[in-house]
Structure 1
Amino acid sequence: MKFFRCPAVVRRGALVFCGVLGLAMPVAAEVPREADAERLATLRKEAQAHEHGEGVPKDYARAVKLYCDGARLGDAEAQFNLGWMYANGRGIERNDARAAYFFNLAAKQGHVQSQKMQRFVGEATAEVPDCMRALPPADDGAEVMVPRSEAQKMVVGLVHQLAPEYGVSPRLALAVIRSESNFNPAALSNKNAQGLMQLIPDTSARFNVKKPFDPEQNLRGGLAYLRWLLAYFEGDVSLVAAAYNAGEGAVNRYRGVPPYAETRGYVQRIISLFKRDDHPFDARITTPSPELSRIRLTRGG
């Protein structure tokens, strides 16, 4: 059986009439803070754009990832949309038990359409989906940086706002920023690395950063690069840090952390600040490094 969403309900979150269910329904659970609501709305809007191909190429995998980010943060509408995708096998394998899991989450928040859908999908899975699991403990980065100025507080706030959109731990992002620019949005290296996350022009172009000294644009570019590196090196933080410093080509060439004093010191700093050597990654972002198996073999792992 296929299920249908009322487009107006999904897109606007208003009280509207849905012909499929034959009743008017409020579809969005209220969130406690305005900042949270804005963040969830941004995630939801981007997810819907990728699901429906509105202004961007249709990308169901990306839509699922973004909906799950919102679902994990408590957005009832994202929980419903994700349940609907699982119930219909829309771009992903149909899974009624997982659909029920997300419908149940939204229904508990009073999401009426999810309550109606519960009877069609049966029992919910008892297993928590991977994307709903919390990032590593101590993820907030409090020990990495204690803001000393309003400008630094702004940067830390932006990191906490943006990093979850990219599936990157704020703590890892803050470790990179501290090591790269010491939280200076105007930082410029002698190699022309620019801004908070010290993006070189090629990296800025690769991740569509037009204004590298704009804090938000720079953070988005750096976070997108970290997300890509995490997928490319399957969450190995040492390799990710080495690649961020010296380039993924150098890591592949040396089949591990390159023998550069600067890069090895950089990797040690990142690990000491992040306090983990692994990080969750999204395997859908890119295929892994062709050298990864050899790197692991060399390490004996």
Structure 2
Amino acid sequence: MLVAGEIPREADAERLLALRKEAVANEHGEGVPRDYARAAKLYCDGARLGDPEAQFSLGWMYANGRGIERDDARAAYFFSLAAKQGHAPSQRMQRFVGEPGSAVPECMRAVVFVDESPDVMLPSSEAQKKVLGLVNQLAPEYGVSPRLALAVIRAESNFNPMALSNKNAQGLMQLIPDTSARFNVKKPFDPEQNLRGGLAYLRWLLAYFEGDVSLVAAAYNAGEGAVNRYRGVPPYAETRGYVQRIMSLFKRDDHPYDARVTTPSPELQRIRLTKGS
């Protein structure tokens, strides 16, 4: 399977070409009624499979508001993916749309479902089943609920061990290089090493915020420094959306923690007072 930004293999060329042709037909109304929404979906299917032409075309639609709402950050995201593959038109367009947004567009994520039972994920591929098995094996070692770990994985990479964000967050749990170094992750694209690093960070955050899941989620997304600075979930749209997503998947406000791991945040009492006011 290809990941975003990977150069397509020959075996995938026919599939990518078919996707691209159908997308172009829908975008321009060639032989079918013009349907911008379907064109964008088809381009994104191709973009997710690593097709730089599809990435460029979708970036162009966002940059020009062509049948969809204009969004320069999203346009920059897709131009950036194509530019990394040496796509010259995308490289030229990057200077007109600014920096990519940090959030991965929803259409770039595969579909994964969460069961209602406490710690069960229903994966949609054999590779995702392997990740599920690793999580259920490793999470208890770190005192982390498998369901919380799975919620983070779903929100961060949707089970793609080769995921790479525009801010260089890497692997299943999207560890930035500083976090990898902090928790001794030498190979961030190795699923087990990445999971161990992410679980170690979650264990630390749970102790630091004494099991408050909303603060842990906010810190995982924006850093514990930002949570301390704002004395709660930072007022960033991305972080607030991320916290809501984690809470909706985990379905609990509190999580057990090991107080021996680290001393609590010096701002925790103030944060609690703010929450209670």
Q: Normalised by the size of structure 1, how large is the TM-score?
A: 0.53
Q: 1:54-109 CA distances to partner (integer Å, 9 max, x unpaired)? A: xxxxxxxxxxxxxxxxxxxxxxxxxxxxxxxxxxxxxxxxxxxxxxxxxxxxxxxx
RMSD: 1.1
The whole-number CA distance in structure 2 between the counterparts of 1:182 and 1:196 is 8
Using the alignment, how far apart are the partners of 1:251 and 1:148 within structure 2? 34
Equivalent of residue 282 in structure 1, options 251, 254, 258: 258
Task: Write out the 4+ residue segments of structure 1 that deviate beyond 6 Å after TM superposition.
Answer: none
Q: How many percent identity over aligned positions? A: 90
Partner of 2:217 in structure 1? Answer: 241
What is the Cα deviation at residue 138 of structure 1? 4.1
1:230 aligns with 2:206: yes
Secondary structure of 2:186's match? coil
Distance in structure 2 (CA, Å) of the matches to 1:191 and 1:242: 17
State the match for 2:141 in structure 1: 165
Instruction: Give the 3-state SS of the residue equivalent to 1:199 in structure 2.
Output: coil
Equivalent positions of 1:43-54 (< 5 A) are: none
Task: Return the offset for 1:139.
Answer: 3.4
Structure 2: runs of 5+ lacking an equivalent: 1-115
Distance 1:203 1:264 in 2: 21
CA-to-aligned-CA distance 1:234-280 (integer Å, 9 cap, x gap) = 00000000000000000000000000000000000000000001000
Task: Tell me if structure 2 keeps the 8 A contact 1:139–1:169.
Answer: no
User: 1:278 & 1:220 partners in 2: Cα distance?
Assistant: 22
Check the 8 A contact 1:242/1:264 in 2, yes or no.
yes
Q: Which amino acid aligns with 1:139?
A: P
Amino acid at match of 1:215: P
2:275 corresponds in structure 1 to: 299
Q: What is the aligned length? A: 162
* 2:169 is the counterpart of 1:193: yes
Look up the match of 2:30. Answer: none
Q: Secondary structure at the match of 2:174?
A: coil
- Matched with 1:139 is 118
The equivalent position to 2:239 in structure 1, one of 238, 257, 263, is 263
CA displacement, residues 117-141 of structure 1 (integer Å, 9 cap, x when unaligned): xxxxxxxxxxxxxxxxxxxx9432x
Superposition pairs of residues 100-119 of structure 1, within 5 angstroms: none
Q: 1:147 offset after TM fit, Å?
A: 1.1
Q: Distance in 2 between matches of 1:225 and 1:195?
A: 14
* Aligned amino acid, residue 166 of structure 2: N
